[in-house]
Structure 1
Amino acid sequence: MDFQLKTLSVAQAAAEKSDVLIVLVGSAPITAKDALSVLAASARKAGDFPDKAGKLLALYRPDEVVASRVVLAAVGDGTPASVRSGVIAAVNAAKAHRPKRVVVVFAQPAEAAAVACAVTAAADASYVYTATKSKAEPRSIRALTLGVPDAAGVRKAFDEACGTVLGIELAKEWGNRPANHATPTLLADVAKELAKLPKIKCEVLGPKEVEKLGMGSFAAVARGSAEPLRFIVLRYQGAAKDEAPVVLVGKGITFDTGGVSLKPAAEMDEMKFDMCGAASVLGTFRALAEIQPAINVVGLIPSCENMNDGRAVKPGDVVTSMSGQTIEVLNTDAEGRLILCDALTYAKRFDPAAVIDIATLTGACVVALGGVRSGLFASDETLAAALQAAGEESQDRCWRLPLDDDYAEGLKSNFADVANIGGRAGGAVVAAKFLQRFVGDFAWAHLDIAGTAWKSGAAKGSTGRPVGLLVSYLTTRARNGNADGASEKAATDSAAPAKAPARKARSAK
């Protein structure tokens, strides 16, 4: 979609050529005297246009408006969350008329974060997957003009949001592709394409290189598949070479059968989404190339399939990780942590400022948080606070969960240094405790996105999360001189509990 930012009042927006005009109306008193503002005030007074975020009033050919259709969209208090609700509702309503050009105008002052959320929300609501459809209709909205009272004041936020959209949509695209159209080799090809963009380099390692590195845990997961594994290393250099990078590690299981610990057949097709952590890293690098913040970032993607043949790893097998620690594989469906642990060990060679791994890791996290917030675990208070603040700003929210040592008790093994699963209780935390063994002393965070990376049912598809959170975190860190300057208390206070919708639990991975 082609986005454009303009300084526009509601009256000026009414004169813009478009198929649909969307007016974002806050809960403050409406004082403007143009025709649309007067109409909105009258409709609110009559009770036909409540000011609750997401409420709409559709108009057809109102006086003094060029667009044939107008949608008044309430955005409540004008916060990023309210703006997102209003824009998604309005764009979804407008899509029924297949508009090619849409104008969205704020009827009141707009803060930078609200403008950014308007851009990402409009893109989210209008996204259409077409890659494997023979007669697919692409998204109807080709161009969107965003009108604000002061374009210059929010230009930077707008530009960063446009770059973030490119990253989110790349993550959605590859998350949505069927596993036979998104193999580890094809993911590596995407990474190589990203290396053609400014400031990005890519290296791809195959089975022989992984074996030479001693990544026995990663290699064990890949053994049962005919598709060769790939270990993808991306580098974005936006700062001085000697500046320590942030390392992003994305789980890249391109299809997960569960291995010998076979998953139930129902909804197994959704295990193509088990590489959404990897997709989020690819998407983040696409956004970095567009925004070009002054920061260094490394992306590590261990990618393979978890399949089941005569060579597949078996329950009870003991494998040796790159760190030298031995792991008893009690459940082959807990494979994500087996590939991530070797990638976390590999991350140490970059002497990182911080390491963040992103994974569709546990069904337990879906039970805990549903599809509203990603699970956040962190060994560093400042990093945790910065990620929470980035989630609130981008409306790609997370919620911090504990890392008490007591949760690791279930990982004890009689036959290896550690088992790959514990009991059912606290499964998301137990998985995080497993990963923490391989982290070392650098600042580390783990994002469990099993509940947020995709939607099931009629809306089935990748969400592109947590690209928005990651980009917000990295750009903020760059502005702070490659340091996490977020206030832990502010981030914690702003992260109010959210009521999650009912959702089927997924088996642990």
Structure 2
Amino acid sequence: MDVRALQVANEDLPGQAAAALVVVLSADASAWQLPPVLSDLAHDAVRHGDLELKAGKVLYIHRPTGLKASRLVLSVAADASVKAYKKAVAGALSAVKSSGAAGAVLAWAGPGPLGAEHAEAAVTALADALYTYRHSKPSAPPAAALVKLQLACDKAGAASVRAGILRGKAIAAGVTLAREVANRPGNHCTPTMLAEQARILAREQGLKIEVLDRKAIEKLGMGAFLAVAQGSDEPPQFIVLHYEGGAKKDAPLVLVGKGITFDTGGISIKPAAEMDEMKFDMGGAASVLGTMRAVAALKPKVNLIGVIPTCENMPSGRAVKPGDVVTSMSGQTIEVLNTDAEGRLILCDALTYVERFKPAAVVDIATLTGACVVALGHHLSGLFSADDALADGLLAAGLGALDPAWRMPLLDEYDEALKSNFADMGNVGPRAGGAITAAMFLKRYTAAYRWAHLDIAGTAWKSGAAKGSTGRPVPLLTHFVLSHAG
């Protein structure tokens, strides 16, 4: 994927000898800033009903008169916002991709100039348009011809556009890595394979890495994590990645990703329908790998640690049973009331482990609860934190990255639901408010630092005909880390 800034005035666009010229138009025709030949083509298309000035409408014109470009694509944005612009670019790139063009010049007809955020959005839209999963599908269609994109900009905005392209490329690479890992079937993406992917990432990006095996995990006393892993023949792995871009004295940010590479539910087994999608239950782990990839490419002055506890949750004669009591690394005991609430069990030990880093803040990311999907659907990730400043930072990062989250309550009253007669806590409460009680469970392990939890059960993947990983929330997390750079 080759994306560059092209310093050219809009009046010179007709002379660009590109395979395709893409012009994003605002829905308000009075705001267009176009040379006469392009203005005439666009107004004529509207006048004859070929193009409707509504968000998402796209018109493809082959061999347009008066242009050196072989193809012209007009795409309508609702307004000048980054979100509307990205949607219009995505629609236009779909048309260009279908045409077989190898490259395109992308221009904005106004009002106002392109900014870094628009450039980033264009790059990530292109990456999304080009992504096709191939690892276990030899019959996948060949790669699209569209590999080169030039973003038209004026001299004053060129530096900003170049900065946005750089950030967009890094985030796109991180999202692609997260999608590629999460899309692999459970018999391919095992905990061992996930650890190997982390090692490859570390070698390629100059990161430090530790991978702890079962013996080392046992030595640390991670009884909750091991309880989940004990039903599977696949050995658990505990992955720790370090990006050191800040000063040694700077406290690191820590990302903790849930890495259940396949979740049957254990003894509390899930229904058969759609259980195949439980290969995506390591979406939190995938997002940590993707974010580490993006941050390493951008090289901000910040210290970042990625932690991934990973195992399978399987039923067997060795599996943890409902009613079993396990001891977490913190020393707190847990009555396992439902073995399908396993993500919080592996995360709680990881959250205790990261105390040793004396972190500036910790964010855990997990496909944790169906209850969060019921509450928020598939558009927003659920955000839980008792720290207002940390929550505000994550929300702002999500808005800037077009990867939004919604803050959920975290009140002490919900903690009552976790009481147990036989342990310090149960691992589930009643069905009502399930996403909140899951977050309250995790909160019990985070008193030593500032903490937030992202429940991405509704946003990490899509079902149905479009089934596959989304790579979220890599954009949110990357923007969040960059906001802390010195």
Asked if TM exceeds 0.5, the reply is: yes
Higher alpha-carbon deviation: 120-129 or 243-252: 120-129
1:133 to 2:137 alignment: yes
5 Å-filtered alignment, 1:17-166, equals 17-28=17-28, 29-44=31-46, 48-108=50-110, 109-140=113-144, 141-149=146-154, 150-166=157-173
1:301 to 2:282 alignment: no
1:343 to 2:350 alignment: yes
Paired position in structure 2 for 1:5 = 5
Higher alpha-carbon deviation: 127-136 or 87-96: 87-96
User: Displacement, 1:31?
Assistant: 4.0
Q: CA 1:82 to 1:379, structure 2 compared with 1: closer, same or farther past 3 Å? A: same
SS at match of 1:25: strand
Partner Cα separation in structure 1 for residue 261 and residue 69 of structure 2: 45
Q: CA 1:320 to 1:115, structure 2 compared with 1: closer, same or farther past 3 Å? A: same
Partner Cα separation in structure 2 for residue 197 and residue 31 of structure 1: 44
SS at match of 1:446: strand
Higher alpha-carbon deviation: 156-165 or 31-40: 31-40
1:377 to 2:379 alignment: no
Partner Cα separation in structure 2 for residue 131 and residue 202 of structure 1: 25
Retained in 2: the 8 A contact 1:11–1:35? no
Paired position in structure 2 for 1:288 = 295
| AA at the equivalent of 1:123 | A
Q: 1:402 pairs with 409, 423, 428, which one?
A: 409
Retained in 1: the 8 A contact 2:205–2:293? no
User: Displacement, 1:148?
Assistant: 2.4
Partner Cα separation in structure 2 for residue 170 and residue 324 of structure 1: 36
Partner Cα separation in structure 2 for residue 359 and residue 18 of structure 1: 44
SS at match of 2:99: coil
User: Displacement, 1:45?
Assistant: 5.4
Retained in 2: the 8 A contact 1:54–1:87? no
Higher alpha-carbon deviation: 155-164 or 136-145: 136-145
User: Displacement, 1:13?
Assistant: 4.0
Partner Cα separation in structure 2 for residue 216 and residue 408 of structure 1: 22
String of CA shifts for 1:445-497, please: whole Å, max 9, x gaps. Answer: 1000000000001111100000000011111221xx3xxxxxxxxxxxxxxxx
Paired position in structure 2 for 1:507 = none
Partner Cα separation in structure 2 for residue 46 and residue 449 of structure 1: 45
Aligned length: 479
Q: CA 1:268 to 1:24, structure 2 compared with 1: closer, same or farther past 3 Å? A: same
Q: Structure 1 unaligned segments of length 5 or more: list them.
A: 482-509
Partner Cα separation in structure 1 for residue 53 and residue 251 of structure 2: 47
Q: CA 1:133 to 1:18, structure 2 compared with 1: closer, same or farther past 3 Å? A: farther
Partner Cα separation in structure 1 for residue 266 and residue 424 of structure 2: 22
Retained in 1: the 8 A contact 2:33–2:109? no
User: Displacement, 1:441?
Assistant: 3.6
Higher alpha-carbon deviation: 11-20 or 29-38: 11-20
Retained in 2: the 8 A contact 1:336–1:359? yes
User: Displacement, 1:38?
Assistant: 2.8
Q: 2:179 pairs with 172, 182, 201, which one?
A: 172
String of CA shifts for 1:235-275, please: whole Å, max 9, x gaps. Answer: 00001011000000000000000000001111111000000
Paired position in structure 2 for 1:243 = 250
Partner Cα separation in structure 2 for residue 133 and residue 394 of structure 1: 31
Retained in 2: the 8 A contact 1:130–1:138? no
Q: How many percent identity over aligned positions?
A: 56
Q: Structure 2 unaligned segments of length 5 or more: list them.
A: none
| AA at the equivalent of 2:71 | R
User: Displacement, 1:181?
Assistant: 1.3
Retained in 1: the 8 A contact 2:384–2:452? yes
SS at match of 2:123: helix
User: Displacement, 1:348?
Assistant: 0.6
Q: CA 1:98 to 1:316, structure 2 compared with 1: closer, same or farther past 3 Å? A: farther
Partner Cα separation in structure 2 for residue 390 and residue 151 of structure 1: 24
SS at match of 1:53: coil
